[in-house]
Amino acid sequence: MRVLYLLNISNPDRLAADSGWIFADLLAPALADAGAEVTVASPAPAGDTRAVFHRTRVHGTKYRARFGADIGELASMIRAAKPDVVVANQIEEAPAVRAALLEAGSGALLAGYCHYLPFSLSGGGRVVLDPSLDDGGLGRSVLLAFAAGVSACDRVMVHSATAASWVSAATVQVGVDVAGRMRVVPPPRDGRLVRDPAAVTAADRTGAGAIGVYNHRLYAHYGTGRFVDLARELTASGLVRVRVMDLFGTRRAERSGLDDSPERMRDQLAAMAHVQVVSDRGDRIRYRQLLAGARFGIAPFRPGCPWSMSVIDCQGMGLPVISPRMGWLAEHIDPALHFTTLAEAVALAERLATDDAFHAEHARRAFASTTGLNPASVAASYLEAIA
């Protein structure tokens, strides 16, 4: 099977913070191991040398990534790669890819991966636009472009059962039925971020000054303002310190001009007592070390959360993750670690910090929840979905 993998990169200046690139870098070699011939079309190479690399331009903003498709360039890539399957990881580009397939005279199957959902569903089933894609009132247009992308695909892949239910419910409201075309294929975990908690020494389990790590993007739409409040409450007693990952570093003006909340939130957190803001500097080994020095992870307060690479990173390292009861987080994370109020979150964090038996059991469960996400297993599911 020849696969043309169209990868949009949203963070070219810090690839280690771009989940789409990381997933491709892990998945392309596993697909090759399974016998697929893979071409990755992307602004930066991903995967090993067996994957053919076709360089594409960097989209300056998240809106250009959704509305700036070049059908001529796509048709040229399709003619060169002669794929059996084209995977569009920016689902809004799928109609343009379909047009390029027609122009190139290709009968390839078109699969879309819904890497990011521009909406969430309220408890009553109402579609709520993602504020990160609603600048200037564009949110409704992005939602319609998303639905058009789903409509154009032969297969639609999503991260989780939560994402599947949201995509089905949202698209049917605008006249698109995805029944029979949807497949749940979770992304792979990073093998560099795997640590069996059974191998962690007793010295590493000390409760004094235990660190809770927050390794998510600091956008306001991730609920970072609520996390700031939580960090203040968590550190008040002195039992817990908080380590915040600065994943972006210095961003390009095109990106910070649309949303400067990561910089504002980072500065606010850095000014708090017992809160440490650190950078992995794009180095996965350093990132692993920063996670390994923590006691537990903290999930984001992002309503539209169909998946979280950062949560899986923590769990693969044997870190229990406390989580607000929402979205995929509620589907995946052990219910005993869910919270509704900040007081409940503080109680969970302090118990993980001081109760070794409780921590050990949830470390074991967290690690076990990621074992099926090794790249080989995910590649097999991927190929089954697009067969």
Segment 124-148, tens digit of pLDDT: 889 999 998 999 999 999 999 999 9
Residue 7: partners with Cβ closer than 8 Å, 6 or more residues away: 20, 21, 24, 40, 41, 42, 46, 89
CA distance readout (Å), 76 to 54, 153, 223: 11, 20, 41
pLDDT digits (tens, 9 = 90+) for 184-199: 999 999 999 999 999 8
φ, ψ of residue 41 in degrees (nearest 5): -100, 115
pLDDT of 25 reads 95
The answer to whether the beta carbons of residues 158 and 167 sit under 8 Å apart is yes
Is the pLDDT at 212 greater than 50? The verdict is yes
Read off the pLDDT of each residue in 197-207 and give the average, rounded to a whole number.
68
What confidence score (pLDDT) does residue 207 get?
44
Percentage of residues of the chain with pLDDT beyond 90: 81
% of residues, the chain, pLDDT over 70 = 95
pTM: 0.93
Indicate whether 205 pLDDT > 60: no
Name the nearest CA neighbour of 156 among 98, 214, 114: 114
At residue 18, the pLDDT reads 85
